[in-house]
Amino acid sequence: MTDCGVVLNEEHHVYVSPDFNTLQGVTGILHKHLFPQMYAGVSEEVLKAAAERGTRVHKQCEDFDNGNREIVSDEVFNYAGICFEHDLHHEASEYIVTDGEHFASAIDKVYRVSDDEFILADIKTTATLNRDYVRWQLSIYADWFERQNKGAKVVALCAIWLRGDKCKFEAVNRVESEDVAELLRCEIEGKEYTHKELA
């Protein structure tokens, strides 16, 4: 797979291009245009704790994929079971994709299906799984992934939900590339995205 050259500055959580331009991540775009009420009424304290838990679980799963087979939590146990049950072959974690100009983000998991076919997955640890959010998030990533890796085909988009001893593995349908392009165009031009159909 192609390295786009974009790096994540973890201290400030910004993406930086090879020519030192700051690129915008996907999360803010989705919350602004499609899911503005997603965390309405949730305190900063709760959000911070949730973010820390999510970071910890992501790291544990990445360690597992990198060969550390020690089961350190319920989430890792369930993640290992999901990978086995669905025959997922880990190719990369936190794989950065970009449109090459304005945006960049890291895909939680890339799994290889064949020489040119891949599954993209996002790990969620939220109280409930927002499938529409994951669908849009991964659809954007899929467009950039295929553009970045010539000849590659994303054959499935999946949400992996890990919450204590509970888990889900769910495929989500891909948003049409035209809708993805329109959303990103509205963000670039400072316009409101009006196509509100999420399902």
The identity of residue 195, as a single letter, is: H
pLDDT for position 199: 44
Are the CB atoms for 17 and 5 separated by under 8 Å? yes
Structure tokens at 21: 């331009």
Rg (CA), the chain: 17
The number of helices, as runs of H, and strands, as runs of E, in the chain is 5, 8
pLDDT tens digit sequence for 61-107: 999 999 998 888 999 999 999 999 999 999 999 999 999 999 999 99
**CA 77 to chain centroid:** 21
Please report where in the chains the tokens 């927002």 appear, as a residue. Answer: 130
Strand 104-112: give its sheet, edge to edge: 90-98, 104-112, 117-124, 153-163, 166-172
Helices (H), 34-130: 44-65, 74-85
How far is 157 from 141, CA to CA, in rounded Å? 10
Are the CB atoms for 175 and 138 separated by under 8 Å? no
pLDDT tens digit sequence for 108-148: 999 999 999 999 999 999 999 999 999 999 999 999 999 99
pLDDT tens digit sequence for 6-51: 999 888 788 999 998 999 999 999 999 999 887 777 788 888 888 8
pTM: 0.93
Does 198 have pLDDT greater than 70?
no
CA angle in degrees (0–180, nearest 5) for 76-129-146: 80
User: Which SS3 state, helix, strand or coil, does residue 182 take?
Assistant: helix
